[in-house]
């Protein structure tokens, strides 16, 4: 822990969180990676508190920036640290329940070292007196529920107003934590016993190897067996994806968007480390992460390939396309995506998704196509456009969308959807395909 220059020993959570947000903005890395990079030397409680400050601020970015832009015309032109320090202070005074004078004082103290104390003080004193005055229903919902206007409109069309509001509220909660036992390294019973002995309260799910964490003294990710790869933290709907493909020990499986390897590792476990999985991804840094993750988890039947999943060739029995997507089902754990995914990225991503589906069907007889997106276009409509034959999947969650904006999807009862507000999971779409005819 570094002492402050004024001699106090207070850990400057706001200061580190402002640095984390500036880093997320600059290098587009996740909050988790930025916290690791900038607060890795602090104990897990400090890291947890910096993470919470950063994530909670990011979740409400549109409303926080509304206050700041109403007060300071040149807000976007500020240096990244000061801009994000102001955001943290506004989060504290408007949404965290910190007394405005206290939030302002701590921000001003931090800004003083950088010669920005009077600016920060003046802005925050004005913000304190401001309320949101939204014009129109969409804008009002957007600023009240902290989602972009286009998403509010889209979610209302897809789910009705009641469903959309419930989804947006669920996106603001901390996502539930699920633990998946890695049976390549330990039995379900031994891991369960270990976690319970360490004060983790577990609840069974419909999958034998997955538990929901109901409470803990220390977060399961901070315990030794997690570093030893005996279990991973993985969303329940994400775990269902590998079961949907149902790989057997003798199979050859191709995973066309594999990094960082959570589902590859799960499939390796279901295959008891036998057969062969070819795991492809086009991101060198994510492939590096996958390599070390698979090693940590004791996975031995995987060939890792840096390549383009849209064209990669490998004859296989089964293929998984866990496609790059808008992450609209993952806003609870990745709130920064809400503010960065635009129309151009949507179009480019959907093109990749369709190419990957077509390539998977060229290489394998059975394909599972999954996304963590809630949009009809990335899911049901993509399947219509690729002309694949859809095989029925059992659903532990809900079913697909039958019709959206005049497009009919007849096979809606064969595919699976999960939603944060309905199933306490990320929003996933999961489907099983084969070649037509
Ligand atoms: C949803 S993530 C995959 C998560 C992974 N299946 C898991 O369970 O850990 C999508 C992945 O697709 C990769 N990707 C994007 N475009 C690609 C392409 N053209 N070829 C291969 N991989 C691609 C991204 O780098 C990212 O790792």
Angle at 153 between CA 148 and CA 157, to 5 degrees: 145
Contacts of residue 211, defined as CB under 8 A and 6 or more positions apart, other chains included, come to: 178, 179, 181, 192, 195, 202, 203, 204, 205
Contacts of residue 340, defined as CB under 8 A and 6 or more positions apart, other chains included, come to: 28
Contacts of residue 77, defined as CB under 8 A and 6 or more positions apart, other chains included, come to: none
**Residue 281, annotated as binding a ligand:** yes
418 CA distance to ligand 1 centroid (A)? 20
Which atom of ligand 1 sits closest to the CA of residue 238? 8
Q: Which residue puts its alpha carbon closest to atom 6 of ligand 1?
A: 258
Beta strand ranges found along 282-360 (DSSP E)? 302-306, 316-322
The pLDDT value given to residue 435: 87
d(CA 377, CA 384): 10
The per-residue pLDDT for range 382-395, each reduced to its tens digit, is: 999 999 999 999 99
Contacts of residue 179, defined as CB under 8 A and 6 or more positions apart, other chains included, come to: 191, 195, 200, 202, 210, 211, 213, 220, 231, 232, 233, 234
CA distances from 136 to 141, 150, 365 (A): 9, 14, 50
Residue 62, both tokens: 């549109």
Q: Does residue 329 have its Cβ closer than 6 Å to ligand 1?
A: no
The per-residue pLDDT for range 222-238, each reduced to its tens digit, is: 899 999 999 999 999 99
**Confidence class for position 176, pLDDT limits 50, 70, 90:** very high
Please state the rounded mean pLDDT for residues 364-369.
97
Q: Does residue 310 have its Cβ closer than 6 Å to ligand 1?
A: yes
d(CA 291, CA 295): 6
| Residue 281 near residue 324 (C-beta atoms within 8 A) | no
Return the half-sphere exposure (C-beta side, CA atoms, 13 A cut-off) of residue 81. 14
d(CA 151, CA 335): 13
**Confidence class for position 359, pLDDT limits 50, 70, 90:** very high
Instruction: Report the Cα 153 to chain-centroid distance in Å.
Output: 22
- DSSP per residue, 195-234: HHHTT-EEEE-SSTTEEEEEE-SS-GGGSHHHHTTSEEE-
Residue 249, both tokens: 């020990």
The pLDDT value given to residue 343: 87
Residue 42, both tokens: 């602090």
Phi, psi of 370 (to 5 degrees): -135, 150
Give the ipTM. 0.99
3-state helix, strand, coil split of the chain in percent (to 5) is 50, 15, 35
Residue 116, both tokens: 């920005």
Residue 435, both tokens: 């070649």
Please confirm, yes or no, whether 372 is among the known catalytic residues.
Answer: yes
Q: Which of 29, 324, 360 to mutate to test the pocket of ligand 1 (most atoms within 8 A of CB)?
A: 324
> For residue 76, is pLDDT > 70?
yes
> For residue 145, is pLDDT > 80?
yes
**Confidence class for position 5, pLDDT limits 50, 70, 90:** very low
Q: Does residue 282 have its Cβ closer than 6 Å to ligand 1?
A: yes
| Residue 53 near residue 14 (C-beta atoms within 8 A) | yes
The pLDDT value given to residue 182: 98
Q: Does residue 415 have its Cβ closer than 6 Å to ligand 1?
A: no
Which atom of ligand 1 sits closest to the CA of residue 322? 6
The DSSP H or E segment spanning 404 is: strand 403-404
CA distances from 68 to 16, 57, 109, 142, 229 (A): 20, 13, 19, 16, 44
d(CA 263, CA 71): 46
Q: Does residue 259 have its Cβ closer than 6 Å to ligand 1?
A: yes
Is pTM beyond 0.90? Reply is: yes
**Residue 322, annotated as binding a ligand:** yes
**SS3 call for 295:** helix
Catalytic residue among 239, 314, 325, 372: 372
Phi, psi of 185 (to 5 degrees): -120, -15
Q: Which of 257, 263, 371 to mutate to test the pocket of ligand 1 (most atoms within 8 A of CB)?
A: 257
Q: What percent of the chain has pLDDT over 90?
A: 90
Contacts of residue 129, defined as CB under 8 A and 6 or more positions apart, other chains included, come to: none
> For residue 42, is pLDDT > 60?
yes
- Domains in the chain and their CATH numbers? 13-129 (1.10.940.10), 177-233 (3.30.70.1170), 241-434 (3.40.50.150)
Q: What is the mean pLDDT of the chain?
A: 95
The per-residue pLDDT for range 300-357, each reduced to its tens digit, is: 999 999 999 999 999 999 999 999 999 999 999 999 999 988 889 999 999 999 999 9
Q: How many CB atoms lie within 10 A of CB 223?
A: 18
Instruction: Report the Cα 23 to chain-centroid distance in Å.
Output: 18
> For residue 8, is pLDDT > 70?
no
Residue 179, both tokens: 């633990």
> For residue 118, is pLDDT > 80?
yes
Q: Which residue puts its alpha carbon closest to atom 25 of ligand 1?
A: 283
d(CA 196, CA 295): 26
């Amino acid at each position: 822990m570094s002492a402050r220059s004024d001699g106090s020993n207070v850990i400057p959570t706001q200061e580190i969180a402002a640095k984390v947000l500036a880093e997320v903005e600059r290098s587009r890395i996740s909050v988790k990676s930025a916290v690791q990079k900038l607060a890795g030397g602090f104990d897990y409680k400090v890291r947890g508190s910096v993470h919470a400050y950063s994530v909670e601020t990011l979740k409400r970015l549109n409303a926080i920036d509304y206050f700041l832009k109403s007060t300071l015309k040149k807000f976007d032109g500020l240096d990244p640290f000061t801009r994000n320090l102001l955001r943290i202070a506004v989060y504290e005074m408007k949404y965290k329940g910190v007394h405005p004078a206290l939030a302002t004082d701590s921000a001003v103290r931090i800004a003083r070292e950088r010669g920005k104390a009077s600016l920060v003080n003046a802005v925050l004193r004005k913000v304190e007196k401001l309320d949101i005055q939204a014009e129109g229903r969409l804008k009002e919902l957007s600023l009240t529920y902290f989602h972009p206007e286009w998403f509010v409109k889209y979610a209302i069309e897809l789910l009705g107003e009641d469903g959309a509001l419930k989804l947006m509220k669920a996106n603001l909660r901390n996502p539930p934590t699920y633990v998946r036992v890695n049976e390549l390294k330990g039995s379900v019973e031994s891991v369960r016993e270990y976690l319970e002995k360490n004060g983790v309260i577990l609840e069974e799910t419909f999958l034998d190897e997955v538990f929901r964490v109901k409470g803990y003294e220390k977060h399961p990710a901070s315990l030794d067996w997690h570093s030893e790869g005996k279990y991973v933290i993985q969303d329940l709907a994400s775990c269902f994806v590998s079961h949907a493909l149902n790989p057997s020990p003798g199979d050859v499986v191709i995973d066309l968007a594999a990094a960082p390897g959570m589902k590859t590792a799960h499939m390796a476990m279901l295959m008891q480390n036998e057969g062969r999985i070819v795991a492809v991804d086009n991101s060198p840094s994510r492939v590096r992460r996958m390599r070390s993750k698979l090693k940590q988890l004791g996975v031995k039947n995987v060939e890792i390939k840096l390549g383009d999943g849209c064209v990669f060739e490998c004859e296989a029995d089964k293929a998984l396309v866990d496609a790059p997507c808008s992450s609209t089902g993952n806003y609870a754990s990745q709130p920064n995506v809400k503010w960065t995914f635009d129309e151009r990225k949507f179009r480019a991503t959907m093109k990749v998704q369709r190419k990957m589906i077509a390539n998977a069907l060229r290489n394998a007889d059975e394909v599972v196509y999954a996304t963590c997106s809630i949009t009809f276009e990335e899911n049901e409509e993509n399947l219509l456009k690729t002309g694949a034959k859809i095989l029925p999947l059992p659903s532990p969650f809900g079913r697909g969308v039958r019709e959206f904006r005049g497009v009919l999807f007849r096979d809606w009862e064969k595919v699976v959807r999960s939603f944060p507000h309905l199933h306490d999971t990320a929003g996933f779409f999961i489907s099983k395909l084969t070649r037509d005819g």
